[in-house]
Amino acid sequence: MTEVPVVNAIDVVRHYTLPRESLFRPPAVVQALNGVSFSISRGRSLGVVGESGCGKSTLARCVMALEPLDGGKVEIEGAHLEGLDVNALRDKRRHFQMVFQDPFGSLDPRQKVARIVAEPLEALEKLGKAERLERVADVIASVGLKPADIDKFPHEFSGGQRQRIAIARALVTKPTLIVADEPVSALDVSVQAQVLNLLQDLQDQFGVTYLMISHDLAVVEYVCDEVAVMYLGSIVEHGPAAEVFANPVHPYTRALLEAVPQLVPGRKKRQRLSGNVQSPIDLPVGCAFADRCPQVEARCREARPVLEEVASGHKSACFLNN
Amino acid sequence: MALLEVKNLDVTLATSRGPARAVRNLSFDLDRGQTLGIVGESGCGKSMTALALLGLLPENGVTTGSINLDGQDLLTLNEDAMCGVRGNRISMIFQEPMTSLNPLHTIGRQVTEPMLIHQGMTRDQARDEAVRLLERVGIASAAQRLDSFPHQLSGGQRQRVMIAMALSCKPDVLIADEPTTALDVTIQGQILDLIADIVAEAGMALILISHDLGVIAETVDRVLVMYGGAGVETGPTASLFEHLAHPYTQGLFAAVPKLGSGGRRGQGARLATIPGLVPELVDLPTGCTFADRCNIADGQCAGTVPTVHDVAEDAGHRVACLKPDDAKRQFAPAEAGR
């Protein structure tokens, strides 16, 4: 029997209807996710990269069952979450936890660290006080904070330490999956490195699975086994991180990699993508990237390419794959 | 004499926890056509330096030292005279294109405002000039865009408008404070190209402030690395990246995740880190500000102001460190491994 993946997303669709602007026209629809499929096996990590508005945060929220789906399904450890009532869903939530982007906004400033970290336990698991304190102390130690820190308030910590608290809060229920939405983008470089290493250590130690959302390609390459590149609500390229970064196939992935400034002095003349990311309202019929693609052809505007395997485990959605 | 000469600049902020030395003893100079990058982490004083140049420090800030623009010390000017300099001879592109444009005024009004104030243009002249500027910064159908409001533009377009505003009076010095931090990576490339082209074309001096070493490496000729309010290393970009001479610069460089590392199961799957935290400005040591995080610091570093050594004399690559030889030694094996 093959192992059940920790996350299995099949054809996830999420559309947001905007307020109606005219009586005579249908309201506009933001097509945030248009059929996204992926799976992550136990102890592995998937990084989702893309520019703002590509739907990566919506994807994280859909996986966390914080958003209803408009199509498709998400299974966590083989179990459906769609349609569960609130209590049944809450019971499942201990298996998947989230780390948010902003370590300043995501911790309650009026609660002490001990209470912040213990809150998921109180809500999700019935434990005695002594046991709860023990779990909190364990998890605080494993993210590299001092035992005395549990009696402090969030404002007494720096950004990197706060993100450690947020990670501790996610870890305390011993989840199999942690969804991290831009966990280091608010941190300074030297502190970011500490948090990235911590994420790797925790994975080695506890075997957690990560779904990591980031706009920073190098960060994803460091932490993730696999990477999925999203553009306007669809995955355009998906594969092992090292393989995708070394041999990008989709023109968008190539442009994205090309645009990252390198640590090499001197100005480089490079092909730049022109234009902006299109609005996810009223997407074109064909490939969503057609308007900015340097290699666009007529057929790109007529039909939408689907993900096809270009190498083992490496998929790209482009008519020009070969 | 250089166009802009900053000498022994000190900025002290009065806070409830005592004086915070946001910038300490900073000196640099800049000529027309030169580009200088200031790099460092949050709280290192890079934005405070920019605000000091423009005379825009918060009220609790005290500045000493001198900032000479064409031989005139800006710190001695009164507010009226400073208004004639700000936006006219020195202008700034701010970090957040979302919040630094006024949402209640049209783009046209905001771009023409400096020209009406500083250059005595008529409304029509200023409007024509604004159309030309917006076209130059790559905004399509510029004439119509003049009547748009900021919320009708995307982030990249707003940053282009900010650049047009900063350029409107043909300043001698352009300061760009994290101009691309809020933008997507493909848009970041477009904006950096635009800034570099405009600076080269108008022969102005550019100070680019960024926390991103990659952006700095690709855009400027000279780099100044700041830590805890002090300049720790400065030099031509090529020389600096070749011989990272200060322990902080070395640590910062090693901590940046680099593309092409081969993934997490590949080589170098662990990032080097700088131990400890970015310190608060009120509790910095009196000597070397990096002493408490530095791996080669000894007892004297925290109490002694570091001396400046030449790394490559002819190139003007200098480092402020008490133990430059130890720093050099620890960099050598790292280099061999690259």
Confidence of residue B262 (pLDDT cuts 50, 70, 90): low
What's the average model confidence in pLDDT over B38-50?
89
Q: How many inter-chain contacts (A to B, CB under 8 Å) are there?
A: 150
- Chain A segment 54-113 residues within 8 A of B by beta carbon are none
Give the distance from residue A184's alpha carbon to the nearest chain B alpha carbon, in angstroms: 12
Confidence of residue B96 (pLDDT cuts 50, 70, 90): confident
What's the average model confidence in pLDDT over B195-215?
91
Give the distance from residue B16's alpha carbon to the nearest chain A alpha carbon, in angstroms: 16
What does B227-268 look like in DSSP terms, one character per residue? ETTEEEEEEEHHHHHHS--SHHHHHHHHHS--TTS--TTSTT
What's the average model confidence in pLDDT over A127-141?
90
Q: Identify the pLDDT of residue B182.
A: 77
What's the one-letter identity of residue A21?
E
Whole-angstrom distance, CA of residue A250 vs CA of residue A314:
11
Q: Which two tokens stand for residue B27?
A: 């000196």
SS3 A229: strand
* C-beta separation of B226 from B46 below 8 A: yes
Give the distance from residue B46's alpha carbon to the nearest chain A alpha carbon, in angstroms: 14
Answer whether B265 sits within 8 Å of A273, measured CB to CB: no
Average pLDDT of chain B to the nearest whole number = 88
Give the distance from residue B193's alpha carbon to the nearest chain A alpha carbon, in angstroms: 9
Answer whether A265 sits within 8 Å of B212, measured CB to CB: no
Confidence of residue B209 (pLDDT cuts 50, 70, 90): very high
What percent of chain A has a predicted confidence (pLDDT) above 70?
98
Which pairs count as long-range contacts for A196-202, CB under 8 Å and 24+ apart, including other chains? A196/A222, A196/A223, A196/B257, A196/B271, A197/B270, A197/B271, A197/B273, A198/A143, A198/A144, A198/A164, A198/A167, A199/A167, A199/A223, A200/B264, A200/B269, A200/B270, A202/A142, A202/A143, A202/A167, A202/A171
Q: How far is CA A116 from CA A111, A123, A190, A236, B39, in A?
A: 6, 12, 26, 38, 35
Q: Which of A49, A51, A157, A188 to mutate to test the interface with B (most CBs of B within 10 A)?
A: A188
Answer whether A189 sits within 8 Å of B256, measured CB to CB: yes
Whole-angstrom distance, CA of residue B123 vs CA of residue A36:
52
Q: Identify the pLDDT of residue B268.
A: 54
Answer whether A188 sits within 8 Å of B219, measured CB to CB: no
- By mean pLDDT, which of A187-201, B4-18, B249-263 is the weakest? B249-263
What's the average model confidence in pLDDT over B234-242?
92
Confidence of residue A156 (pLDDT cuts 50, 70, 90): confident
What's the average model confidence in pLDDT over A99-104?
85
- Chain A segment 189-218 residues within 8 A of B by beta carbon are 189-194, 196-197, 200, 215-218
Whole-angstrom distance, CA of residue A179 vs CA of residue A76:
12
User: How many Å from the N-terminal Cα to the C-terminal Cα in chain A?
Assistant: 34
- Chain B segment 34-53 residues within 8 A of A by beta carbon are 41-42
pLDDT at B190 over 80: yes
What's the average model confidence in pLDDT over A124-136?
89
DSSP structure class, residue B6? E
- For B264, nearest residue in chain A (alpha carbons): A222
Q: Which two tokens stand for residue B138?
A: 């790559």
Number of H helices, E strands in chain A: 9, 12
Contacts of B264 in chain A (CB under 8 A): 45, 200, 221-225, 241
- Chain A segment 152-181 residues within 8 A of B by beta carbon are 158, 160-161
pLDDT at B338 over 50: no
- For A51, nearest residue in chain B (alpha carbons): B184
Taking the complete model, does pTM exceed 0.90, yes or no?
no
Q: Identify the pLDDT of residue A15.
A: 92
Whole-angstrom distance, CA of residue B233 vs CA of residue B218:
18
B185-202 and A251-259 helices, crossing angle to 10°: 50
pLDDT at B258 over 50: yes
Which of the pair, A4 or B106, is modelled with greater confidence? B106
Contacts of B237 in chain A (CB under 8 A): 265-266
Give burial (CB, 10 Å; 0-12/13-18/19+) of A126.
Answer: exposed
Q: Is A275 on the interface with B (CB under 8 A)?
A: no
Contacts of B266 in chain A (CB under 8 A): 242
Q: Identify the pLDDT of residue B264.
A: 62
pLDDT at B91 over 60: yes
For A224-282, how does the pLDDT look when each residue is reduced to its tens digit (9 = 90+)? 999 999 999 999 999 999 899 999 999 999 999 988 888 888 766 666 777 777 777 77
Whole-angstrom distance, CA of residue A192 vs CA of residue A163:
10
Give the distance from residue A197's alpha carbon to the nearest chain B alpha carbon, in angstroms: 6
Q: Identify the pLDDT of residue B38.
A: 95
Whole-angstrom distance, CA of residue B5 vs CA of residue B205:
12
Q: Identify the pLDDT of residue A94.
A: 87
Q: Which of A218, A240, A263 sits opposite B241 (nearest CB)?
A: A263
Give the distance from residue B135's alpha carbon to the nearest chain A alpha carbon, in angstroms: 15
- For A247, nearest residue in chain B (alpha carbons): B260
Confidence of residue A2 (pLDDT cuts 50, 70, 90): low
ipTM comes to 0.81
What percent of chain A has a predicted confidence (pLDDT) above 90?
39
What percent of chain B has a predicted confidence (pLDDT) above 90?
45
> Which residues neighbour B91 within 8 Å (Cβ) at sequence distance 6 or greater?
B114, B165, B166, B167, B168, B169, B171, B173, B174, B175
Q: Identify the pLDDT of residue B336.
A: 45
Strand order, beta sheet including A177-181: A96-99, A177-181, A209-214, A45-49, A226-231, A234-240, A314-316, A308-311
Confidence of residue B337 (pLDDT cuts 50, 70, 90): very low
Q: Is B161 on the interface with A (CB under 8 A)?
A: no
Confidence of residue A54 (pLDDT cuts 50, 70, 90): confident
Q: Identify the pLDDT of residue B44.
A: 87
